[in-house]
Structure 1
Amino acid sequence: MSIVNEFEKIPTTCISDTMQGLNNLDPAIKPLKDEYRVAGRAFTVKMPVGDNLVVLKAIREANPGDVLVIDAKGDTYRAIAGDFIVGLAQTLGIRGIIVDGAVRDIQGIRELDYPVFCKGTTVAASGKAGMGESNVPISCGGTAVHPGDIVVGDADGVVIIPQAAEQELLKESLEKLDKDIKRAEKVSGKREEVIKYLDDFLLK
């Protein structure tokens, strides 16, 4: 099983905890549906505000299984894409789109049942002057993202796992998840265990 698939099973909250919350995207970047979850290698996009031609270029260049991570400078007035462009990405096997910005045609995108994470929706389209860069280091939602980093998103938000540390972070995340599960099982529905846990925690 690939390391991406391993990370896909782990909640973003757990992954974030192993990195002390340092590689989380802006919490305003959320999925269009709470049930959306995505994990894949980042194919990065740096676009000027209101010019999305580079997004089309990235869709053409990205590999199946990649996740588009788009730095749109946080702009929520002009959409980086609508349902037609998002549908192109889906057809070419891109796993999802994460953007520090907005999309439009929200009903159409939801009908695609395809993971899109963004700051919101708008009615205004972008132009296509042709500026921007793809597959370069970017800052998205206040976090550095390099091509090939693993990106994981769910209802709580989006985290970036730096490629150089991914094996160690996977190990730590799995250990944290196991610890969290055992802790919950120990106290679930047990009044005395809950009181003991709280007392132990508060007396540290």
Structure 2
Amino acid sequence: MYEDPPLLTIKRTHRRPSDAQIKAFSGVPTAVVSDAMDGHGALLGHIRHLDAALPSSVCGPALTVWTGAADLLALHAVKRIATPGDVLVHGFDAHQGCAAFGDSLGGMMKNAGVAAIITDGPVRDVTGLIALQMPVWCTGSISSTPFENGPGTAGLPVNIGGQHVETGDMIVADRDGVVVVPFDQIDAVARRAAHIMTLEADGERAVKDGLVMPQSYEDLLDSDRVKWID
């Protein structure tokens, strides 16, 4: 006999990066983080920073929640397991027909210590979210509101923007987008990102000093791998 699924499924405990691991990603651009993962980890580009008036750079542990399309019940439930500094990653099944949340729920999330919200749906009450200074990455804005019926999950894996995200993964977000670093790769990616930052600083200095073409490209253009014709 078929039984109705639970209205909500909530995972109480989860792994979490250390303060030192979080600090290692502070101020690191998402482009560098993705480069450090060989181009992987970035959410699809339709999930973007909501508004220039909001803080535009954040890093922290993912706290995952899935509501399904057009619902927000689990967004209320996830507040029970939130830890200050968490970056809420919300799976809305990429539904675009109504808002995933608005400023009222955004304010509650801020009160619960959530540092930022990332969703694969649109939001509403943009003016209110700006007043809250709650950083948001989403697909846009729309006026209609979701339901509060469930089912949903909190603290369990979600798929959003082409990436699989688990609670405790590292989230790095800025104006370029959002990158997910799997928990067991955090240290390795942090080390590689620091090395890339050094290389990029050297490259930026060279451009400011007038660099037109890196030597490796000069060598390629002068090699027998390039055919020149008149």
TM-score, length basis structure 2: 0.83
Matched, 1:72 2:92: yes
In the TM superposition, residue 200 of structure 1 has moved relative to its aligned partner by 4.3
| Contact 1:40–1:151 under 8 Å retained in 2 | yes
Structure 1 alignment gaps of length 5 or more: none
Structure 2 alignment gaps of length 5 or more: 1-18, 224-230
Residue equivalent to 1:199:
218
1:111-190 → structure 2 map (5 Å cutoff)? 111-190=131-210
In the TM superposition, residue 60 of structure 1 has moved relative to its aligned partner by 2.7
Q: Secondary structure of 1:110's match?
A: helix
Residue equivalent to 1:8:
26
| Contact 1:36–1:114 under 8 Å retained in 2 | no
In the TM superposition, residue 20 of structure 1 has moved relative to its aligned partner by 2.0
| Contact 1:30–1:119 under 8 Å retained in 2 | yes
The structure with more radius of gyration: 2
Query: What letter is aligned with 1:43?
Result: L
In the TM superposition, residue 177 of structure 1 has moved relative to its aligned partner by 0.9
Q: Deviations over 1:51-92 (max 9, x none)?
A: 101011112321111111011111122111110100111122
Which is helix-richer, 1 or 2?
1
Q: Secondary structure of 1:121's match?
A: coil
CA distance in 2, matches of 1:97, 1:122: 17
| Contact 1:55–1:80 under 8 Å retained in 2 | no
The sequence identity of aligned pairs, in percent, is 31
* Aligned counterpart for 1:22 among listed residues 40, 46, 53: 40
Number of equivalent positions: 202
| Contact 1:14–1:177 under 8 Å retained in 2 | yes
Alignment root-mean-square deviation, CA: 1.6
Q: Secondary structure of 1:85's match?
A: helix
Q: Deviations over 1:81-122 (max 9, x none)?
A: 110100111122111100011110011111211211000111
Residue equivalent to 2:76:
56
In the TM superposition, residue 203 of structure 1 has moved relative to its aligned partner by 5.6
CA distance in 2, matches of 1:66, 1:173: 22
CA distance in 2, matches of 1:15, 1:170: 8
Query: What letter is aligned with 2:171?
Result: V
CA distance in 2, matches of 1:134, 1:95: 17
Q: Deviations over 1:121-157 (max 9, x none)?
A: 1111111113110111111111010110000100000
